[in-house]
Every structure is written in C-alpha cells, then in structure tokens.
C-alpha cells in the first residue's frame, strides 16, 4: 500500500458548514462558559438521544469523574478491567475503590454473575462499560442494583447512538457517560457528556465543571474546570447533522469485514445482538488458538503491509503498573484471555471497501 491505513479517521463536516457555524463567534467573542453553541448542542443531543437531562464537558473522563462526585459515592465500585484506563482512573481519582468483575466471552461486556459475587457491604455502585458499542446486559445489571440498592453509571464512551429496540442507550442506569473524542463515532474534536435521570444533578454538574462557583462572590465547594468551549460545541452541532449517514457508511464497512472474516477457522468476530441498532464504532477480532497465528503475528503483518491496528484493550487495566501490585488479572480469566487475543482493525466511515478487502487478505494470510 502506498499510503498507510490508520486504525481510525475522524469524521468532519464540510469546512464551509463549520465556518458558517462558528462565524458568529467573531461577533460575540463568547468562546466558552456555556454560550450559544453549547446550548444548541445540548438541545440537539437531548433530542437525538431521547433524554431530558444532559451536561457537556471538556471530555468523557471529566464527565465520569463529575457524575461519580455529584452522586456522593463512597466505598467500592464494581467495574471491568477490560476498558480504557479512564474508567478505572476516574473511580480511583474520586477516592473510590475499584473492584474488577470478569467479562462475557461473546460481547466482552461485564458479566452480571461476576458482579453479584463481588458485592460487599462497602459496594456503592456499578460502572459497566458498553465495550466496542456492545450493549451490556442492562436488565440483569439493573436487577442486581435494585436488589442491593446500588447506583449504576454506564461508561458509554463507545456507545453513542446505540439503541435496543426504540430505547436509547442513554436511558439505562442512573447515568451514562459519553466521549466525544476525535476518534469516536460522534465527535466534538474533544468533548464528552453525561446523561442522567435525576434532574436535580444538573446545576451541581454545571457548577462542578466551573470550579464550584455558585455566584459572583460564592464558591461553595472544590470543583474543577471542565467546560466545553464553543468551537468544540460547534463541531458537535455540525457532526450531529451528518451522523445517520456516517453510521450507515460504517455499517457497510463492518458488513464487508464480517463477510470476509466470519467463518474463518479460529477467527471470532462480534456482531450486534438481536434488536440492537449498532453504531459500528469498532471492529474487534479475537484470534483463537485454532487460527494458527497469534494476535501479535497478525498485528505485525498488518504493520508491514501499512495497516494500523490496535491491541484494544491490552493489557488489562489490572495489569497496568499503577494497579498490578493490588490486582491480579488471573482473577478475571475471560478478560485476560480476550485481552491477549483481541485486535481492533481499521474502522471509519470513509474506509474504502477495497481497503477492507486488502486488510482481510493480510489477516487471513496469517493463518497456518
């Protein structure tokens, strides 16, 4: 290949559309602190997600930290080690103790049976992750939460736009965090949000992201600085208009991958579950021993061919240097097994189907 294929590529609106959206900022000079574009995006997201409450942030990580703090949680939080570092970091940075449950081997989301075995009197919440946009077993998780009186805060960074039937992913649990990072299906360049059920949290969340300021001369508590600026919000306003077409193009890419890879010996692909409207955020492939080549072999072969892939998620969070003295990844054997074998292949709306074929040729050519 003459040009390297990256593992992802940010979706952007036509330049003229974005320029038209941001032009009024040169009139107002209102660049941050929840201005016109911020409010426009907030309203658009409520409509798109079918929710009543949402707060915008500089990124998904700050959104997750904020909702954990706003709920006043103390003690242990059950989560998954098969996620991006942010999930666990947010829990720890808020003074909470993460407890790692194992995952399911079909969709890589947290295993409800594993959750219930880990509940103690100190457990205050569950933070499941919709991995790769695969929806967690939300009914089983909610039943456990109701049984033990726990909060459920979803890390939905991968799941923007996903639905089960007519129900938006944003409506499950007590809250859901979304990432609008440049690599996501929907981006605001950098950004994030939290959707939540308790409307009383809205002023608290907005105060937290603005230093805890309550008024011109009143700072009531120690907040942070996590306000989405107007340029990022404007990018979100534009990208939201094009999202259905972007997801449709991603679907075509995913279907070509599945057509080429599904059924190959030792290759495990992951399709959306029944009744799920996917956003086709990622293209994970797990290489079982029967494939005859390791995940690392495939990764290296793709690299030589000019294709960027990602070992995502590897290593497990519990194997990070900052956590491995406290946690043992062997306690989550399914997560460990998947982490050692998974590779996410290039996935973005403008990926040519011919390039998908070339990527699949390299992958399948590694089999022995």
Tell me the per-residue pLDDT of 311-365, one tens digit each, with 9 for 90 and over.
Answer: 999 999 999 999 999 999 999 999 999 999 999 999 999 999 999 999 999 999 9
CA–CA dist 293, 273 (Å, integer): 28
Cα-trace Rg, the chain: 21
Q: Which residue has the tokens 């829990």?
A: 91
* pLDDT number for residue 1: 42
Helices (H), 152-221: 201-208
The SS3 assignment for 56 reads strand
| Local structure of 177: helix, strand or coil | strand
In this structure, are strands 123-127 and 76-79 parallel, antiparallel, or unpaired?
A: parallel
For residue 276, what is the DSSP state?
A: E
Kindly report the pTM of this predicted structure: 0.97
pLDDT at 368: 80
Q: What is the pLDDT of residues 268-289, one digit of tens each?
A: 999 999 999 999 999 999 999 9
Cα–Cα distance for residue pair 22/20, rounded to 1 Å: 6
Partners of residue 218 on adjacent β-strands? 215
Weakly modelled stretches of the chain, pLDDT under 50 = 1
Q: What is the pLDDT of residue 215?
A: 86
Looking at the chain, how many residues does it have?
368
What pLDDT, on the 0 to 100 scale, is given for residue 2? 55
Domains in the chain, CATH or no CATH each: 15-237 (3.40.640.10), 243-365 (3.90.1150.10)
Give the residue ranges of DSSP H helices in 136-263. 138-148, 201-208, 230-261
Q: Residue 219, Cβ neighbours under 10 Å: how many?
A: 13
Residue 306, pLDDT score? 98
């Amino acid at each position: 290949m003459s040009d390297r294929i990256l593992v992802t590529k940010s979706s952007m609106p036509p330049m003229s559309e974005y320029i038209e959206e941001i032009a009024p900022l040169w009139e107002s000079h209102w660049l941050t602190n929840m201005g016109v574009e911020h409010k426009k995006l907030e309203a658009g997201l409520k409509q798109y997600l079918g929710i009543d409450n949402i707060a915008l942030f500089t990124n998904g990580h700050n959104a997750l930290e904020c909702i954990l703090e706003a709920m006043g949680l103390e003690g242990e939080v059950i989560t998954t080690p098969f996620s991006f570092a942010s999930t666990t970091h947010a829990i720890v940075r808020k003074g909470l103790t993460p407890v790692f449950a194992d995952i399911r081997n079909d969709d890589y989301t947290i295993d409800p049976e594993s959750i219930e075995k880990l509940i103690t009197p100190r457990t205050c919440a569950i933070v499941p992750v919709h991995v790769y946009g695969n929806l967690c077993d939300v009914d089983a998780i909610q039943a456990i939460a109701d049984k033990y009186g726990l909060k459920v805060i979803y890390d939905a960074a991968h799941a923007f736009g996903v639905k089960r039937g007519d129900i938006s992913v944003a409506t499950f649990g007590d809250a859901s965090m979304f990432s609008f990072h440049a690599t996501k299906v929907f981006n605001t360049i950098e950004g994030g949000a939290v959707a939540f059920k308790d409307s009383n949290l809205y002023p608290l969340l907005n105060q937290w992201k603005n230093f805890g300021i309550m008024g011109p001369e009143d700072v009531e508590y120690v907040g942070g600085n996590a306000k989405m600026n107007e340029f990022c919000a404007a990018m979100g306003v534009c990208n939201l208009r094009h999202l259905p077409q972007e997801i449709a193009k991603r679907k075509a890419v995913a279907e070509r991958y599945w057509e080429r890879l599904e059924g190959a010996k030792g290759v495990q692909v992951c399709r959306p579950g029944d009744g799920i409207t996917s956003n086709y955020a990622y293209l994970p492939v797990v290489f079982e021993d029967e494939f005859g080549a390791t995940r690392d072999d495939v990764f290296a072969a793709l690299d030589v061919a000019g294709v960027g892939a990602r070992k995502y998620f590897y290593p497990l969070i519990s194997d990070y240097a900052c956590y491995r003295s406290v946690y043992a990844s062997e306690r989550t054997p399914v997560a460990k097994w998947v982490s050692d074998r998974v590779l996410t292949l290039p996935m973005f709306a403008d990926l040519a189907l011919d390039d998908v074929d070339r990527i699949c040729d390299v992958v399948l050519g590694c089999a022995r």
